Amino acid sequence: MTQQYQQADKENERLRRCMSDLVSLSALPAMWVGGDLSRIGHVLLDVLSAMLDVDFLYVRLLDHDGRTAIEMARTTELMRVTKPSDIGRALSLSLGDVATDWPQTARISVENVMLSIAQAQLGMNGQAGVLVAGANRLTFPVQAERLLLNVSGNQAAIAVKEAHLLIGQRQYAAELDRRVAERTDELAATNRDLRLEIAERRRIEEALRDSENSARTIVDSLAGLVAILTPSGDVEVVNSQVIEYCGSAISEFKHWGENETLHPDDLPDVAQKFTNAITSGEAYDFEARIRRFDGVYRWFQVRGLPFRDADGVIVRWYALLTDIDERKRAEERLRRSEMLLAAGERISLTGTFSWRIDTDEILFSEELNRIFEFDGDVAVTVDQITSRVLSEDLPLLAERMEQIRSGRDNPEYEIRLRGSDNGIKYVRVVGRIIRHGDGRLECLGAVQDITQRRLAEEARDAIRSELAHFTRVMSLGELTASIAHEVNQPLSGIITNASTCLRILASNPPNVAGAIETARRTIRDGNRAADVISRLRALFRKRTAVIEPVDLNEAAREVVALLSSDLRRARIQLTIELADDLPYVGGDRVQLQQVIMNLLRNAVDAMICVDDRPRRLLVRTETHEGESVRMSVRDTGGGFGPIEAERLFDAFYTTKSEGMGIGLSVSRSIIESHGGRIWAAANDGSGTTMIFYVPRYPGASEQVLRSVDPKNVLDWAGKS
């Protein structure tokens, strides 16, 4: 799950950066307003250099006649060629002299440097120029880089066309001013003949018509949707792209506010902004949905600029309509993605964060602010975070933060927080390092509130402990006969030895040496009885589990000693094969002995009715895959069938007439809580082998040394 969250975080970050870059690109036209080709080129390359990880950027901008007006480039240290003209020549040698025939992407060699390049034609058929980017990596360009290149190319093309248009307007205005001045001078100086004046006026009118026709031709050739409006805001001229998009004649555009050209929901706001702009003479910029010829509404950015004469009077308006429908859809997808991410964080109680290592700038998601009980409007600081962490966990947090500062990822770790109500929260933290192209380090991570799960685990462990104690107490009743036998033997020895000691001391003369030996035997039998009682108290007392080094061989011997009377009465031949140099295991000694006792008692019960073959019980220990210790208990009982195999460890399932069916279930719970595994296997012949393993104790450096004969067979039936 965490990995899926991490992958989602990365994808969301990539989308955010892409959308941020697209928003930045949308601001370029405002920076280019009134600018010449040189400014357009420099701003375009500067912006793309910050957005794209490339080794060179090259742009060739053309004037309105198609001649090369300017070449510019940006390169990295990898490029041996740095002059724009040299880069343009290298591209022409590799891709051809005609830029409009260049492929969208290609692999080329420039001065023995292999580069992946991508190009975007500026304007229709490259009328405004070409933009090329190259990088020394096979994956260039990825989809986001291709998108940024195309969008910036489209914006640049529009800017170049506007520059062309502005130059033409200025030339037109200058020409008009010059002619008016000439005419004024002529009237003031010579007052020529009226017919000459009329002829001159006709000539000027024809020139104006020609100029207007030329301007309309330029507007019609622009790639975007362009309209020319009168000073009062009436549509006067639209280019062919507008007519093709809307599928209407120009006469219908004169009534755009009445014929549903605009989406009805957008019309009131657009009408107000448009009216205010026409009244005030200020440029307008708004977004609205415009109906296509097939009735589909698409989002457009509508920008209008007034054109003024020498006296500052508006003579016409120029409007540019840019299709931003895909951008709006992408923004909606991003908003939905962010909404789903926030919902996922709330449901999973997981918050995300970003930490700039160089500036200590920290950003928390809304859910993470809730977990830490921070105000979302206040910037998060390291001091604020440490103030919430319990003092016992501050060293761990400091260690993990130092790992991040040194450029290493964090494995998962847990710390505790103190809430505003002094309650304790348990959280799991994981962080991953992101290395940016400029060398900056950023840590992206997630924090999950696991308080409820931790409380549930503690409740589960308490119930498990109660159930384990209950099974031990139940076993106590079943072991009554064995306990009585084990205690009765040393007590009988004590009485016999005490009587013998009295007789020896009463003799004349007293045999002091014999009395001392008899007293030693009395002490030995007393210690035997005390050991039996100690083992029983340890096994059946109720206490909290303690993980410590445990000698599994010794634990098995103690359980076998407790069950020795039962084994003799059942005439079971016991074989013990305990491995030498067996490592300690990490666990609770009492709980592991309970598992061994459950397995041995089940084996005894399985063979109690066997009369057609020897009753043999084998207890064996050995190492398991180098990191664990395995114990197996093999009997020659009746075994189990396929149905029993599936339910053998289920709670309250039993094949015994008087059993409760919780022994194996509790045993599995104990072994799994120790990080081990327990299972049953049918023997090749008769009977069953129960097997479990637990991990070795990680802190134990010494081996348990034993000298046990693997062939040692204790025939309890013979001793009975």
Residue 133's pLDDT is 92
Residue 702's pLDDT is 41
My answer on whether 623 and 651 are in the same domain is yes
Residue 496 counted as domain residue = yes
Residue 71 counted as domain residue = yes
My answer on whether 107 and 34 are in the same domain is yes
My answer on whether 457 and 482 are in the same domain is yes
Residue 196's pLDDT is 77
Buried b (16+ CB within 10 A) or exposed e, 453-489: ebeeeeeeeeebbebbbebbeebeeebeebbebbbee
Residue 707's pLDDT is 31
Residue 203 counted as domain residue = no
Q: Residues of the chain whose pLDDT is less than 70?
A: 1-35, 66, 68, 188-189, 192, 208, 210-223, 250, 341-342, 345, 348, 460-493, 496, 524-525, 527-546, 641-647, 649-663, 699-720
Q: Which domain holds residue 119?
A: 13-162
My answer on whether 230 and 334 are in the same domain is yes
Alpha-carbon separation of residue 194 from 187, 190, 205, 207, 549 (angstroms) = 10, 11, 16, 20, 122
Domain boundary among 129, 147, 162: 162
In tens, the pLDDT along 577-598 reads: 999 889 999 888 878 888 888 8
Lookup: tokens for 539: 């096994």
Handedness of CA 249, 255, 256, 258 (dihedral sign): negative
My answer on whether 502 and 591 are in the same domain is no
My answer on whether 399 and 295 are in the same domain is no
Residue 633's pLDDT is 93
My answer on whether 419 and 441 are in the same domain is yes
Number of domains in the chain: 5
Residue 617's pLDDT is 92
My answer on whether 336 and 363 are in the same domain is no
My answer on whether 429 and 332 are in the same domain is no
Residue 618's pLDDT is 93
Residue 577's pLDDT is 92
Residue 195 counted as domain residue = no
Domain boundary among 280, 309, 344: 344
Residue 1 counted as domain residue = no
My answer on whether 71 and 109 are in the same domain is yes
Residue 112's pLDDT is 83
> Can you give the pTM of this predicted structure?
0.35
Burial of residue 270 (CB within 10 Å: 0-12, 13-18, 19+) is buried
For the domain that residue 283 is a member of, what is the CATH number?
3.30.450.20
Residue 35's pLDDT is 66
DSSP H or E stretch at residue 151: helix 143-189
Query: Computed over its alpha carbons, how large is the radius of gyration of the chain?
Result: 46
Residue 124 counted as domain residue = yes
Query: Shortest CA distance to 694 belongs to which of 618, 574, 592?
Result: 592
Residue 719's pLDDT is 32
For the domain that residue 685 is a member of, what is the CATH number?
3.30.565.10
In degrees and rounded to multiples of 5, residue 229 shows phi and psi of -115, 155
My answer on whether 519 and 490 are in the same domain is yes
Domain boundary among 309, 344, 379: 344
Residue 177 counted as domain residue = no
My answer on whether 112 and 139 are in the same domain is yes
Query: Shortest CA distance to 510 belongs to which of 500, 496, 521, 525?
Result: 500
Residue 214 counted as domain residue = no
